[in-house]
Chain A
Amino acid sequence: MADGVTTAREAGETEAGVAGSRLAAFLETLDEPATLLERRRRAWERYTELPMPTRKSEEWRYTDLSRLDPESHVPFAPESGEEENRDAGDLPEQAARLLEGMEARSAVAVRVDGRTLHRRLDPALAERGVVFAPIRRVARERPELLAERLYTSDVSPMEEKLWSLHVAMLTGGDVLYVPDGVRVPEPVHVLRWAGEGDRLLSTHTLLVTGREAEVTWVEEYLSPDLESPLLSLSGLELFAGDGATVHYLSLQRYGRGVKHFSIQHLLAGRDTRLSGLNVNLGGDLARDDVTSHLEGPGSESEMLALWFGDGTQHFDHHTLQHHAAPHAYSDLLYKGALTDSARSVFRGLIRVDRGAQLTDAYQTNRNLLLSKHCHATTLPNLEIEADDVRCSHGATVGQVDEGMLFYLMSRGLTRLTAERLLVFGFFDEVLERVPVEGVRERLRDAIGSKIGL
């Protein structure tokens, strides 16, 4: 606790850590638009009412939250909404390096410990009505963009505890609004760097697109290895308008010492094309809860994920493909590789509502194990109330093929390099579905450096 108290200054108070809830005290220090503050307070109330999920629940059976102590983390000071906008050259070295190769992006933001140091949006897009700004500024200047969207997702009871904490402790968030018919030609890329341990970092993303709009969103989570733990909470709410095409990609490449919880709700309108990819490489523990709500007939949702776990890393993935409308299509492909004593969980559900006839839904989880001590749990599931649907699920857990290994080794590759190359190949089925070449290459590089190839 003592460490935490000394760093509590950013939240504008020093006594809270001693006097009970440091997080409650954090809320008292905030000065922000009443609507946001009110939501924080309500969320905090909910957070304090709800018990921490235990391993007795199916949803948290494989990830133990009993040792998670949010009170031991000091929230980063929330963004003011008045952002700095430094040139790439004036950024801390680490952040500047991250911006390399991003010149062609339609929009970029760099956050360091939750504070935005750099933000750029193609002026031609701004002119066409695209908004790319921190939540707090949008709340002041364009509150109508948040109304009935921000924090409205239908979070499940099992997500609600951490979701409430996320909302109450929000450090900052990014809003992207793409009006009807606007196509954002290059990706919007947000870099979120955390440099300090013992902290709570909570970031939110609100993506709203109009009809027939098109955009690719990339967010990256980074940190050095941290000796004292960072608690990272992130939320995504994506509202894709009728006929829109939206790609969402998250690359989690934190250093060690980070626990990352991500709750994502993607909502597709009529004839919308959605795709989401979550890549987990870093942190000690990462848990993603991803729900794709197919609310409009004719919508399509692709849900993808990759992870590579080593050491004692633990990755837990929960997914829901919720078919609420007829004639919709969803396809999930989650692939993970583990080595050392790493653990992973996949628990996926396809839910087809009574009225969602002619649903076409697929769910596949494949796991590759490289050591004797790693372990993957896979629990695909279906819950179908309509009677005219096509749904399938499949899951595999396997080791690398000895025949393939010998083939690669007979060309001079060491066993380790051969295994890594096979992992890379195993991931390619997902990577090749990433729509933008530049993003694909960035993901390949990140994965390559994680697996050591």
Chain B
Amino acid sequence: MAEHVLEVRDLRARVAEDESEILMGVDLTLGPGQIHALMGPNGSGKSTLAKVIAGHPGYDVTGGDVLYDGESILEWEPDERARRGIFLAFQYPSEIPGVTISNFLRTAVNARRGEGNEVDVFEFQKELRERMGLLEMDADFADRYVNEGFSGGEKKRNEILQMAVLRPRLAVMDETDSGLDIDALKIVSNGVNTLSKEDAELGVLLITHYKRILNYIEPDRVHVMIGGRIVESGGPELAEKLEEHGYDWLREELASPT
């Protein structure tokens, strides 16, 4: 096993459609069992980094590398990345009309297990019910169409449910806390903490605007991204400082030649 679950090296990426540069050389490493928070103002490139790690076809990598367990993943299709254990909790999950959560997740579990090794239907239902319990979901949630007509909070909980069932080794959580009320935030945070405790190897990259979620999920490291680069890294106290002073002091530091 490699030293790092995730290692991002001088990563440069742009939007495929209009070639606008978003990531200007990102460096970041995340060890097994660690939780890192990635903070930064709007438009700094946090979500782009998340999507590039997941293999979103809307972005072109123009330089650098992304290593997962020591292996470069840039040539892997998004589904292969997922089957190998990379999970992206979406900021805006898609609605999939006509497909129930239960059917979707069983198909996803089987995709990971491979042909001929499909999960027993009853085993799966049992596991799904347990995982839904963890996130305080009603039993009939499994029969609803994926994200269709869901509230913002339900969508985010559904992302964590998928993570709980698919058991990734690397979870990138893109603003999972946005749009959550305090109760939903607690449930989601509790879910992430439980999964993190269950699997000592799980690496979590938590992308957020606000310190709020860090009151419930304690990060090992906090990184700040501005203008497509990580400009500052530190312990949990960095999040406190950002909460108090915003990002301007960092921008000023960046602007000054010293």
A interface vs B, CB < 8 Å?
401-404, 406-415, 417-418, 421-422, 424-429, 453
Is B230 part of the contact surface with A, judged by Cβ < 8 Å? no
A407 touches B96 (CB 8 A): yes
Is B54 part of the contact surface with A, judged by Cβ < 8 Å? yes
Further contacts, 6 of them, CB under 8 A, given A403-B94, A410-B54, A421-B104 = A411-B104, A412-B82, A412-B112, A422-B96, A428-B97, A428-B145
Is B257 part of the contact surface with A, judged by Cβ < 8 Å? no
Measured between alpha carbons, how far is A429 from B107 in the docked complex, in Å?
A: 20
Contacts A417-B107, A417-B111, A421-B107; A410 near B82 (Cβ below 8 A): yes
Contacts A412-B166, A414-B111, A428-B97; A406 near B104 (Cβ below 8 A): no
B96 touches A425 (CB 8 A): yes
Those of B155-178 within 8 Å (CB) of chain A: 162, 166
Which of A406, A412, A415 makes the CB contact (< 8 A) with B108? A412
Contacts A411-B104, A428-B99; A402 near B57 (Cβ below 8 A): yes
Residues of A within 8 A of B116 (CB): none
Residues of A within 8 A of B97 (CB): 425-426, 428-429
Residue of B nearest to A404 (CB): B94
Residues of A within 8 A of B219 (CB): none
Interface residues on B, range: 20 to 34
Contact with A along B13-45 (1 / 0, CB 8 A): 000000000000000000000000000000000
Is B55 part of the contact surface with A, judged by Cβ < 8 Å? yes
In the A-B complex, the 8 residue pairs with the smallest Cβ-Cβ separation, listed nearest first, are A425-B98, A428-B98, A425-B99, A412-B82, A407-B94, A412-B111, A411-B108, A409-B79
Contacts A404-B94, A421-B104, A421-B107; A410 near B78 (Cβ below 8 A): yes
Contacts A421-B104, A421-B107; A409 near B82 (Cβ below 8 A): yes
Is B149 part of the contact surface with A, judged by Cβ < 8 Å? no
Minimal beta-carbon separation of B201 from chain A (angstroms) = 18
Residues of B within 8 A of A429 (CB): 97-98
Minimal beta-carbon separation of A374 from chain B (angstroms) = 20
Measured between alpha carbons, how far is A425 from B95 in the docked complex, in Å?
A: 11
Contacts A411-B162, A421-B107, A429-B97; A406 near B57 (Cβ below 8 A): yes
Counting chain B CB atoms within 10 Å of each CB, which of A409, A421, A428 scores highest?
A: A409
Residue of B nearest to A420 (CB): B107
Measured between alpha carbons, how far is A425 from B102 in the docked complex, in Å?
A: 13
Residue of B nearest to A401 (CB): B94
Measured between alpha carbons, how far is A453 from B108 in the docked complex, in Å?
A: 12
Is B56 part of the contact surface with A, judged by Cβ < 8 Å? yes
Residue of A nearest to B79 (CB): A409
Is B247 part of the contact surface with A, judged by Cβ < 8 Å? no
Contacts A412-B79, A412-B112; A407 near B90 (Cβ below 8 A): yes
Which of A410, A413, A415, A427 makes the CB contact (< 8 A) with B107? A413
Which of B54, B83, B99, B112 makes the CB contact (< 8 A) with A421? B99
- In the assembled complex, 29 residue pairs joining A and B whose CB atoms fall closer than 8 Å, in A order, are A402-B57, A406-B56, A406-B78, A407-B96, A408-B96, A408-B104, A408-B108, A410-B55, A410-B81, A410-B82, A410-B87, A411-B104, A411-B162, A411-B166, A412-B79, A413-B107, A413-B108, A413-B111, A414-B111, A415-B77, A418-B79, A421-B99, A421-B103, A421-B107, A424-B99, A425-B145, A426-B98, A428-B98, A428-B145
